[in-house]
Structure 1
Amino acid sequence: MLKQIKFSGGNIQVNGEVVRVTHRMVTGDQLTVTLPPETASERINASQVPLSILYEDDHFLVVNKPAGIASVPSHLYPDDTLVNRVKGHLEAIQAPSQVTHIVTRLDRETSGVVIFAKHHFAHTVLDTQLKQHSIRKTYVCLAQGQFAKRHELIDAPIGRAPESFIKRMVRPDGKPAQTEYWRINQFRQTALLRVRLHTGRTHQIRVHLSALGHPLVGDFLYGQQTNPWIRRQALHCAAVSFYNPFSQQEVTCYAPLPADLAAAIQAESQL
């Protein structure tokens, strides 16, 4: 960040005077940092599909991602991902920076809260919080089977499955991963869980619950797509909390249950 400020058009001032990055401050000095301008990528097209905005200020944008929408563009989904929609929003509001800094991501078929930063410094702030595990992410899901425990912390490393580029698995040489769940309701064939991530590995909730013998309802990759009420994995990021250093406040955003997951929970509860 300091290198970008120094060489790409920003500056640092102490008490109104431009100084070098090695300047030593004393108590009472006032620091002003001007960030360099950011150039948006021309390869990312702006989509005009409206967003479901949960929170927005000059530094952060938090949205509710619908299931079936990819978080970031790829060769399969180049033009209407969440990133494309956010770029369209930033253009519409004439934001100072129209670079799409995505902080948290969700699988294409997972719904719920996703955080974007509106400039590089805000992104750096939340990246630090992610590394310190201080961003709290809470999920709601439906999983197969009978859960004997009301509460459990799953601590099992996750790595790539050898036969697949996409699939992951619990393996001793994987990266550390911790998932905590609470059983909200036990139904006849499934259970409604509240889940908190303590790390952020790819497919973490899906892999950990599948390893316990309780794959998510509707998860074709780690279980079976046989549920008549939901045509995707029954997983929703319901709440995210992070610290906003610019307003010096904790921000918590909630995403309501989508209709398909709510219908699946209701149907399972009546079996």
Structure 2
Amino acid sequence: MINISTKVQLTFNEPTKSRLDNFVSENLNDQTRSQIQKYIKEGNILVNSNIVEKTGAKLTSGDVIDITIPDEKPIEAVPQDIPLDVIYEDSDVLVVNKPQGMVVHPAAGHPDHTLVNAILYHSKINDNDILRPGIVHRIDKDTSGLLMVAKNDLAKQSLMKQLKDKTNLREYLAIVHGNFKETNGKINAPIGRSKKDRKKQAVVDDGRSAVTHFTVLEQFDEYSLLRLKLETGRTHQIRVHMKYIGHPVAGDPLYGPKNTLQGNGQFLHAQKLGFEHPRTHKWLEFSIDPPEIFQETLNKLRS
């Protein structure tokens, strides 16, 4: 069980003045402006060691902001009877098809009803990680598709090494904005936290290496269907890379335009997954069709 309690210190070094609530919300992950305003009113945010009375107090260069994020309800991954689409399972590994809308593991804002809660009800996972037992890689909440899970330490170490050595297979399908002159391409652009919006990732000079390969499968009036293969696994990698080259994923609420295809979030699906079995060393490969809304949208574009 983990208490989500944090103390953070920020220094304001901008040349022009800024509102306290705006500056803090831009620099804290997973904290909304309304939450920040609540912390200010409760005296949990100090400027130069002084309590601030107004949420819109102006900051000047050199101001030091001390933030105490109060303890929230402790988070613990517990088994929950939630439907789980199991594609493969043995004593070492589990492969599941994660639906759109499901978070992979518990965290602040999503303490339960996650994929991990469902996995713990379905299987015995021997892992000391109490929030992410068995999880070696993740896909975003509104991305559907295949995920491999380690059921013991031998499997976890093996699968993590394969991810690090780039010897596994992860292929996605995506509907993106715009058309292409080329039939395939490689995006090699480092990804890190956005300098403009702390809740986003972006291509930045000091980011971590990120490589995505894409193949154009079909093209429509204003959209294209791509197959994408990951070399690396950075947060939001495909979504960030596609925006970077001017072809954001359709339906993406974070990186895409407002005028887009309507669905349950981004049209991105982890279709194919391959890895070497940790114990037998045999190659395992799995494929799964995208969800119904993805297929229905494709059929509409085709017609």
Give the Cα–Cα distance (whole angstroms) in 1 for the partners of residues 125 and 141 of structure 2.
29
The amino acid that maps onto 1:106 is I
Give the Cα–Cα distance (whole angstroms) in 1 for the partners of residues 244 and 125 of structure 2.
46
**Mapped pair 1:132 → 2:165:** yes
Asked if structure 1 preserves the Cα contact closer than 8 Å seen for 2:126 and 2:153, the reply is: no
TM norm structure 2: 0.71
The amino acid that maps onto 1:84 is N
Which position in structure 2 is the counterpart of 1:22? none
**Equivalent in 86, 97, 111 of residue 53 of structure 1:** 86
Distance change in 2, residues 1:228/1:159 (3 Å): closer
Which position in structure 1 is the counterpart of 2:16? none
Which position in structure 2 is the counterpart of 1:147? 180
User: 204-213 vs 221-230, which deviates more?
Assistant: 221-230
Which position in structure 2 is the counterpart of 1:72? 105
Distance change in 2, residues 1:173/1:97 (3 Å): closer
Which runs of no fewer than 5 residues in structure 1 stay unpaired? 1-41
The amino acid that maps onto 1:244 is H
TM-superposition CA deviations, 1:185-214 (whole Å, max 9, x none): 011110000000011111110111101110
**Equivalent in 231, 246, 251 of residue 213 of structure 1:** 246
Give the Cα–Cα distance (whole angstroms) in 1 for the partners of residues 185 and 282 of structure 2.
31
TM-superposition CA deviations, 1:229-258 (whole Å, max 9, x none): 423100000011000131231011112210
The amino acid that maps onto 1:223 is G
Count of matched residue positions in the alignment of Structure 1 and Structure 2:
226
**3-state SS in 2 of match to 1:205:** helix
Aligned ranges 1:8-157 → 2 under 5 Å? 43-90=76-123, 95=124, 97=126, 100-157=133-190
The amino acid that maps onto 2:83 is P
Which runs of no fewer than 5 residues in structure 2 stay unpaired? 1-74
Q: 4+ residue stretches of structure 1 with deviation over 2 A?
A: 95-100, 163-166, 224-229
Give the Cα–Cα distance (whole angstroms) in 2 for the partners of residues 56 and 248 of structure 1.
15
Distance change in 2, residues 1:122/1:210 (3 Å): same
User: 49-58 vs 164-173, which deviates more?
Assistant: 164-173
TM norm structure 1: 0.80
Distance change in 2, residues 1:226/1:58 (3 Å): same
The amino acid that maps onto 1:154 is I
**3-state SS in 2 of match to 1:183:** strand
TM-superposition CA deviations, 1:90-121 (whole Å, max 9, x none): 2xxxx373762111210000000011100112
Give the Cα–Cα distance (whole angstroms) in 2 for the partners of residues 199 and 218 of structure 1.
23
**Equivalent in 286, 289, 298 of residue 253 of structure 1:** 286
C-alpha RMSD of the superposition: 1.7
Give the Cα–Cα distance (whole angstroms) in 2 for the partners of residues 62 and 84 of structure 1.
15
**3-state SS in 1 of match to 2:159:** helix
